[in-house]
Amino acid sequence: MSDTHADLPEPTVEATLPTIVELCKQRGIIFPSSEIYGGFRSTWDYGPLGVELKENVKRQWWRAMVQLRDDIVGLDASILMHPKVWEASGHLANFSDPLVECTRCHKRFRADHLEEAIAAGELASMVCPDCGGALSDPRNFNLMFKTHAGPVDDEGAVVWLRPETAQGMFVDFATIQRTSRKKVPFGIAQMGKSFRNEITPGNFVFRTREFEQMEMEFFVEPGTDEEWHQFWIDERRRWYEDLGIRSENIRVREHEADELSHYAKRTVDLEFYFPDPSMGWSELEGIANRTDFDLKAHEAASGQDLSYFDQAADRRYHPYVIEPAAGATRATLAFLYDAYRVEQAPDADGNLQERVVLKLDPRLAPYQVAVLPLSKKPELSEVSRRVFDLLKVDRMVEYDETQSIGRRYRRQDEIGTPACVTVDFETLEDSAVTVRDRDTMAQERVSIDRLPAYLDERLPRR
């Protein structure tokens, strides 16, 4: 596969996984869940900055997919769905990974991941990567999370946590089409949690058992599906690049026939370059042509008509579906990787110092502005609070009056805040503040009256 990408420019991601994990932990962006109990099986919590960043990723996706288009509508379906949904969709029969177990240490691994590690020269042969023990034959392990609805935990009460958000869009297709009065081609978009009992979660939030997806099912007339598929591949790539992912760090990979999911005619992955050896070029988003598989499967299982009547052509058919399926949590990780830079910058005495800066797009940055009084003196606090109140109605703003101003700038650089507003003693005389730009570190004096307009010109609202 890599041969087909030989002529592409070299990726430029500077961060490695340990640096990102450390930064996230130190700054309270993302850290282990249930940490006071020692953490819990690759589950992660998004702290004050992480929740802002992840919600901004989702907000930008919703804006691009729903707000700015008149042919896509939104949905928030239940995570728990009728168990028959998963029978009809094929997930109960097909949604599995090949699992091998070490006969010595009893650790379990995905057989296909070990095969990839052998192909990449990271593992010599099909033995346990931890202890070198012999491995069992592969057996299929279903990834669906099982639970029970109600007080009785017998087989009749079994329900499943959804492993993808997509099925809500298929099951609700007829209701949404009728009530929204959309005509094919049109789409339904949904963001939310999905659950997969992954055999080998890991690489921080790259692969977890509980994660968030952003999926859109675009219903088209059969015969126009291939063209629409290409449209969405290009569109989705543009979305990542528009939000700051450098074009050399993203690429398109075609699925081989033996990789295709049970429902797909053609699938393309948008891959991001994660420089760590266990990841490399890895899937960021899958864009599949699911044909009419799902609508027909649910029609057969539910007995409800899920076809579409094209009034202009006086014709009834089952639309084909193009599905851009992104991970909100995985995309958040990719944006962090791409934004991470280490630069040389002069300190107050003009000596070059290393500075870590997250060059996040202002639409994604957890805080767009930090208000920093030069000292904790009450007269400065008072005017700084007024500046904070003035800005907070339109943007996420942090108010911080602890530590030296140099350390506070460094912290804001590390969490990607595009603008710092410093209130000093001159402010009391001239009603102006100093605005420092994260990327250029240039400082400009701006009157408080003009500050909202000044920021509006530089920082897009989200």
Minimal distance, residue 136 CB to ligand GAP, in Å: 23
Of the candidate spans 19-27, 83-91, 110-118, 319-327, the one that interacts with ligand GAP by CB under 6 A turns out to be 319-327
CB contact set of 316 (below 8 Å; sequence gap of 6+): 307, 308, 309, 310
Of the candidate spans 79-87, 91-99, 210-218, 409-417, the one that interacts with ligand GAP by CB under 6 A turns out to be 210-218
β-pair type (340-346, 320-327): unpaired
Of the candidate spans 3-11, 291-299, 324-332, 339-347, the one that interacts with ligand GAP by CB under 6 A turns out to be 324-332
Of the candidate spans 292-300, 323-331, 402-410, 425-433, the one that interacts with ligand GAP by CB under 6 A turns out to be 323-331
Considering the rule CB under 6 A, would residue 30 count as an interface residue with ligand GAP?
no
Residue 206 and residue 284 in contact, taking contact as beta carbons nearer than 8 Å: no
Cβ-based burial of 359 (10 A; exposed 0-12, middle 13-18, buried ≥19) = middle
Pick from 188, 192, 340: nearest CA to 274: 340
- Pick the closer one to ligand GAP by CB: 104 or 108: 108
Minimal distance, residue 217 CB to ligand GAP, in Å: 9
The span from the CA of 204 to the CA of 210, in Å, is: 12
Look up residue 21 and give its amino acid. Answer: V
The span from the CA of 17 to the CA of 333, in Å, is: 10
Look up residue 57 and give its amino acid. Answer: V
10 Å Cβ neighbour count for 431?
A: 11
What's 448's DSSP letter? G
Cβ-based burial of 178 (10 A; exposed 0-12, middle 13-18, buried ≥19) = exposed
Phi-psi map region of 291: left, alpha, beta (phi>0 left; psi -120 to 50 alpha): left
* The two structure tokens encoding residue 236: 């989705």
Residue from 42, 142, 203, 213 that binds ligand GAP (CB under 6 A)? 213
- Pick the closer one to ligand GAP by CB: 172 or 283: 283
10 Å Cβ neighbour count for 112?
A: 14
- Pick the closer one to ligand GAP by CB: 215 or 361: 215
Considering the rule CB under 6 A, would residue 362 count as an interface residue with ligand GAP?
no
Residue 279 and residue 203 in contact, taking contact as beta carbons nearer than 8 Å: yes
Considering the rule CB under 6 A, would residue 329 count as an interface residue with ligand GAP?
yes
* The two structure tokens encoding residue 269: 């992955």
Considering the rule CB under 6 A, would residue 113 count as an interface residue with ligand GAP?
no
Report how far apart the first and last C-alpha atoms of the chain are (Å, whole number): 38
Minimal distance, residue 137 CB to ligand GAP, in Å: 25
In the region spanning residues 231 to 250, those forming contacts with ligand GAP, defined by CB under 6 A, are: none
Considering the rule CB under 6 A, would residue 327 count as an interface residue with ligand GAP?
yes
Residue from 61, 109, 211, 274 that binds ligand GAP (CB under 6 A)? 211
User: b/e per residue, 206-233, with b = 16+ CB within 10 A?
Assistant: bbbbbbbbbbbbbbbbeeebeebbeebb
In the region spanning residues 137 to 166, those forming contacts with ligand GAP, defined by CB under 6 A, are: 164, 166
Minimal distance, residue 267 CB to ligand GAP, in Å: 8
What's 137's DSSP letter? P
* The two structure tokens encoding residue 429: 């005389």
Residue 323 and residue 422 in contact, taking contact as beta carbons nearer than 8 Å: no
Look up residue 409 and give its amino acid. Answer: Y
Of the candidate spans 51-59, 209-217, 246-254, 428-436, the one that interacts with ligand GAP by CB under 6 A turns out to be 209-217
Residue from 52, 97, 198, 424 that binds ligand GAP (CB under 6 A)? 198
Pick from 293, 290, 65: nearest CA to 191: 65
Minimal distance, residue 288 CB to ligand GAP, in Å: 6
The span from the CA of 225 to the CA of 440, in Å, is: 45
- Pick the closer one to ligand GAP by CB: 160 or 367: 160
* The two structure tokens encoding residue 441: 């570190």
Residue from 52, 215, 292, 413 that binds ligand GAP (CB under 6 A)? 215
Considering the rule CB under 6 A, would residue 363 count as an interface residue with ligand GAP?
no
Instruction: Give the count of residues interacting with ligand GAP (CB under 6 A).
Output: 19
- Pick the closer one to ligand GAP by CB: 220 or 284: 284
- Pick the closer one to ligand GAP by CB: 166 or 243: 166
Of the candidate spans 13-21, 320-328, 347-355, 402-410, the one that interacts with ligand GAP by CB under 6 A turns out to be 320-328
* Number of residue whose CB is nearest ligand GAP: 327
Residue from 54, 196, 318, 395 that binds ligand GAP (CB under 6 A)? 196
In the region spanning residues 248 to 287, those forming contacts with ligand GAP, defined by CB under 6 A, are: 283-286
- Pick the closer one to ligand GAP by CB: 42 or 384: 42
Residue from 229, 236, 253, 330 that binds ligand GAP (CB under 6 A)? 330
Tokens 């904790």 appear where? 376
Considering the rule CB under 6 A, would residue 225 count as an interface residue with ligand GAP?
no
Minimal distance, residue 410 CB to ligand GAP, in Å: 31
The span from the CA of 169 to the CA of 217, in Å, is: 7
Site for ligand GAP, rule CB under 6 A: 164, 166, 196, 198, 207-208, 211, 213, 215, 283-286, 323, 325-327, 329-330
